[in-house]
Amino acid sequence: MAGLPERLTKAAATSLLAGALGGAALLAGEMLAAKARRYAKPTMGLALRTSMGPAGAPPLRLVLLGDSAAVGVGVEWLADTVGGQLARLVADGTPETGPRHVLLSSVGVAGSRSMDLATQVARALLGTRPDVAVILIGSHDATSLRAPEEAAGHLAQAVRRLRSAGVQVVVGTCPDLGAMRSMAPPLRQIAGLLGRRMARAQAKAVTEAGGSVVDLGAETGTVFRADAGTLCYDGFHPSADGYRVWAHALYPAVAKATMSGV
């Protein structure tokens, strides 16, 4: 009987190792399956430009920066993108602001990470200075296992450059990746955890850099988890309904930015 504890210990260790290896194999398989999926691609090029609202209303230049969300991957019409829907809300205005003539553009690039924002900021500041910039970034940083603090540091640099140029900045942090149906459990749960870590680091960095923060995961994640229709066919990028949810979440901060002397 003296060897029983040792045998039990070895058996437990063997079971844990087998479980770990099995879990690792499962995750590896899910990662390969996620990578092999057919994902939506940009359909409108890198630069989106349009105007909304009465031509005689006070003008407001709104620019989007970031990843596929800033371009509108997952929908076919500009009006369905988060930028298009946000611009319509701003153009309609409030009793306090009245309607605005919104000049909308996007310098976002699908697949971008926070380190790519420096180039986008330079493009955004070419020519006439925008009044308000909305940055949507973080998903690819999180899923590529970038250190949250490093990615947030690049984001903070972009916010500071825009603020130094006199641009009001609103950042929509990493969305709820646990709501994405392109990944199966438990990979989906792990992605959700990584996304939340990224969002927390982003919120801290953006606030310190002088920007406004909208926690997209906290404010819209429940809707995305409950309604599969908020995602397009690939289960990763938002649909028109999903972008509408994001636009309404971003709008209060953007409306406040438009009244901040821009």
Q: What is the pTM of this model?
A: 0.85
**Which entry of 67, 68, 114, 154 is annotated as an active-site residue?**
68
| Section 54-63 average pLDDT | 95
**Which entry of 112, 114, 237, 239 is annotated as an active-site residue?**
237
From CA 88, how far away is CA 238, in angstroms rounded? Answer: 18
**Which entry of 227, 234, 241, 248 is annotated as an active-site residue?**
234
| Section 210-222 average pLDDT | 97
If we measure between CA atoms, which residue out of 260, 255, 211, 226 comes closest to residue 102?
255
pLDDT category, 31, cuts 50, 70, 90? very low
**Upper half-sphere CA count for residue 230 (Cβ side, 13 Å):** 21
The pLDDT > 70 percentage for the chain reads: 82
| Section 18-29 average pLDDT | 40
139 in active site: no
Beta 101-106 vs 48-52: how paired, if at all? antiparallel
Helix axes 4-36, 187-209, angle to 10 degrees: 70
pLDDT category, 36, cuts 50, 70, 90? very low
Lowest mean pLDDT segment, chosen from 7-16, 148-157, 188-197 = 7-16
Higher pLDDT, 35 or 237: 237
Q: What's the CATH number for 47-260?
A: 3.40.50.1110
Query: What phi-psi label fits residue 45: left (phi over 0), alpha (psi between -120 and 50 degrees) or beta?
Result: left
If we measure between CA atoms, which residue out of 179, 177, 193, 92 comes closest to residue 139?
177
234 in active site: yes
